[in-house]
Structures are given as C-alpha cells and as structure tokens.
Chains A and B, each alone.
Chain A
C-alpha cells in the first residue's frame, strides 16, 4: 500500500547556520565586514598618516604616496578612509551593544511590572516623539565633544525602540503555558527571567540590534557631516564628505570614496539584519497565485 506519511524532516540543530552558510549574500556581507574590521585594527600598517597636511599637493590625483589622491588640505584620502572605518565600526557596534543592554533590561522590567511598564511606555512615547537625529544632534552638541558623546547621543534615541520590542515579546512569552506554569510553581524572579523570558527575546533583539547598528552608523556619519560631536580632525567618513563639499564641483570623487564605503557598510549590516529576521521568522513569505 502506498500510504505515504508526509515526511517532515526534523532538524533539531543547526538549520540556521546551515541556511546562512549556503547563502551567498550572507557570506559576502560577513566577508566585507571582516575586511573592514581588519582595516580598522591594522590601519597604521595599511595606510599612511591621515592627519599630515601637505598644502603643496592639495586635491592632487592618485599617486604612489596617496592612491586615492589628496583632499583640500593635501591629506591622504585613502589613509583617512581607512582610519574612518574605526569611527563607523566603533559607533555602530557600541550603539548596538548599549541599545541591547539597556533596551533588554528596561524592556524586561516593563514587561514584568504592571505600573513600571505603564510609566516606561509613556516615557518611550515621549522620547520617540522627538525625531531621533535631532535628539542625537542636540545631545552631541551639548555634551562635551568626543567619540563617547557621539555613541551616547546616538544610543539614547535608539533605546526606546528596543524597550518597546522587548516588552512586547516579554508580554507574549509571559502568557505562554510553560511560563505561567513556572510562575505558578514559584520559580524565583531571576531564574524565571534567565530561563524562560530571555531566551524568547533573543531572536527579535538580535535583529533589532543589527538594525540599530546600521542606523547608528548612518547617524554618526550625519553628525560628522554636520560637524557636531567628534572633532573634524579625527578622520571619519561623514567628516570626509563634509570636507569634500567645498570642492564638490572640482573633485566630486572625494565625496564618492567615503560615500560608497559608508553605503556598503550600512547595506551589509542591513542585509544581515534582513536575512536574520527571515531565518528567525517562521512565517516565510507565502506564495500567492494571482
């Protein structure tokens, strides 16, 4: 008899890793990110001095000493671009981590405490009513200039988003039978959070942290571009674009290098976020037959 049991293949472990391993886009993005991280770490080895001013060679074309040419002050554009990686990556990763730590902590609290939750929600409502980039610009300009300032200024408007996400996930997890059961047998608060609540939030949090990283990289470039936050001396992609404005008509390529690098970095992080969210979300896009 040909009764075919619908064969559901069961992968208890590793479908995520295998799925990602097979995906060319993911591999490319990860490779690109690794290259940038290596460039950032070994910048002094790879590139020359990004700060040295050479007025004699202002806006010079690519040459042996400066393969991407020199800017309006005669600085090595390639060296500045390589060192600029540091700011983007540092801000991106730091904001992602800060957002995750504070967002999860506050979000879990807001999800577990009824009154605290209500207060936190009103506060996040108010913070999210202020355009994020304005808030970041204002913070960065008021606090003392520096990389730490920029990171904090960008992280603060990102946190409410994470808080709301975590809270909604926690509310969902909390009503699941196994968690209600754990509560009813008197599992202690911390054990409950550690064993039952946190694991459920990891997926969405990871995706959101990736997106926070991408938007932080953009935001830090915007701040440098507007000349707020870190000193214009420090090489950053946004700062390079601000420098290139005055010579945009003569030497537009100076705008192109940092612009393309910045876009590629954000693109890579966003694609990672998208793929991560596709993989973690069981509801795959369905086929319609119109």
Chain B
C-alpha cells in the first residue's frame, strides 16, 4: 500500500487578542490508499481542525501552522490560495456534519453537484449535469433524474447527506474527509450512510478520513484509528488492535463510555469527568493526566515519544500496561480479543 496523504509534525496555533491557543501539537500520520482512517475524540480535541488544515480552510491570519501535509508529492502548506482551490473538491472531497445546513438552500442539488464538475473538470453544463446524475445514482438516490431538480429542503436528512457525498466525490478525489457525517442523522440512516461510504471507498479506490466521537462508528467502519486528545494523537493503530488492547487512559475512558455495546447493561456507561483543556503553551507532560484515573506523579513529567504496543499500534501513555490490565475484563475488549 502506498500513502496517499501524509501529515508530518503538524503544529497549529490560533492567535487572537486574548493570546494563543495550541490546537495541534506535533500531529503526524499517514493515510494509505484504500484505507479508512478514523479520527476519534471529544469536541475540541483537534480532529476537525486537522481536517480543516488539510483542506486549507483555516481562517487566514489567525492560524499559525508548521510541518507538512503531503498529498502525493505536493506539500499542501506550500500552495497558495488559488492552487489550494484546485485541490479542494477535486483531489480532496469533504462531507460535513450537518446535512440540513451544509447544502445551499436556494439552488437545486443537481446544480450544486454539477458546479464542482464544471469548476474542476472544465466540463460544459450538459456534461456536468449528466455527471451529477451519475453521482446521484452512485450514492443510491432513487429516482435520481427527478431529484436533480430538487431543492435541499425537499429531501430527508439521509438523502441530503447522500447528496453531500455525491458532491464530494464528483471529481473522483483521492481522499474523502468525512467530519462526523452521521452525527445529525437517525440511527438507521447512520448505518446506511456508513455502509455507503465503505462501499464507495472500494468502488472508487479512494482513502477516507472519518472523523467521529462515536467508537461504534469506528468499530463498524474504519480500518485504522487515531485517538486524539487536546491536540495530540494519544493512541493509534488498527481498529482491532486498539479495541483488543486499549493502551491509553483516554481510550479506556472512551470505551467505557460507549453505551450498549454487546451488552444491555446501561450501568457500564461511565463518563470521563472534566473537559478538554485549552492550551496556551506546549505542556511537556500528559495532558489527560488530570482527568485520568490511572495517572501517577510520573505522568506530569515530560513525556517520552509514543512507543510501540504492537505492530503499527502506538500509544503516548506511560501507564499503558496498567490501563490494559484494568480494562481487560471489559466486555468490548473481550469481544475484540
């Protein structure tokens, strides 16, 4: 497998009159061709910011960014705005969380898909329109020909999210970034959309970055996962390895807060106390330690680099053995073991 996208030493600071906020701290990862990589974490952990940084959609001026984001041989951080526009919607497609508000309410869905094709493929109106029709078929929208004329408000949430996917994929991008694509949808529709993304990934041989806070989504869809906390990747690895041997206090907490996974016992649902800290400078120790029930005094000392737990499975946690031992009897972990 070759890497489609590779992010190295990405650091990002937002600056405003109240000071600076460190949003991303030494983020490095790569995305293989045909892979679904899931970014997991609470809101504010940096997963959406990572996506916006890849898209080049961070507000100019206030964001200070360093490192590299390579799409093939090109470093996206070296591109100017016009060059970035040629990447967005063309080589990287993006699907957003809320399909109810993410489509333009005053244009037909056909027009909204066709305009991407016209923009990036230089297609004429007719060709773009037939491509739009093709895409609606591809995302399994029934009666696609008539739906071209539909306005977003005439479609259900699930249908709108399919339109969003059709739009993002209309130019055959190498990478699809899906930012919480199912959070706003009904449970049954969620499953359909995730299934669709999985199928399209194979059909179009693209790579997918799936951003979610829902471990259930990760378990059912992703190949590999990256757990983020306060701007850092705290644990990463193939989904089955992370689930079968959780090796970070935060991952353990996320697993334990997952409702009804293979169990009817709601009493197992626990929440992680506290909230994601906002950092105004780099903290050398573990940022999760204040909320972590496994933390010891050592956790506040400068952290070593992430260490290998198993093949392709890395964690930042120095207490990973203790974490795993404590959680090894958890039903999810047992189910994946």
Contacts and interface: CB of A to CB of B under 8 A. Distances in A.
Interface residues of A, number: 8
Interface string A1-15: 111101100000000
A230 B104 CA distance: 55
Interface string B308-333: 00000000000000000000000000
A176 interface: no
Contacts, number: 23
B279 A4 contact: yes
Interface stretch (B6-14, B221-229, B282-290): B282-290
Given A1-B285, A1-B289, A289 B60 contact: yes
A6 B289 contact: no
B244 interface: no
B281 interface: yes
A72 B280 CA distance: 72
Nearest to B291: A3
Interface in A117-167: none
B74 to A, nearest CB: 23
A4 B280 contact: yes
B183 interface: no
Contacts of B281: 2
Nearest to B63: A289
B59 interface: yes
Nearest to B289: A1
A24 interface: no
A283 interface: no
A287 interface: yes
B290 A3 contact: yes
A11 to B, nearest CB: 15
Contacts of A3: 277, 290
B300 A1 contact: yes
B280 A2 contact: yes
B190 to A, nearest CB: 30
A6 B60 CA distance: 23
A289 B58 CA distance: 8
B278 A287 contact: no
B290 A1 contact: yes
Interface in B114-129: none
A4 B22 CA distance: 12
Interface string B251-295: 000000000000000000000000001111101010001100000
B278 A4 contact: yes
Interface of A: 1-4, 6-7, 287, 289
Interface of B: 18, 57-60, 277-281, 283, 285, 289-290, 300
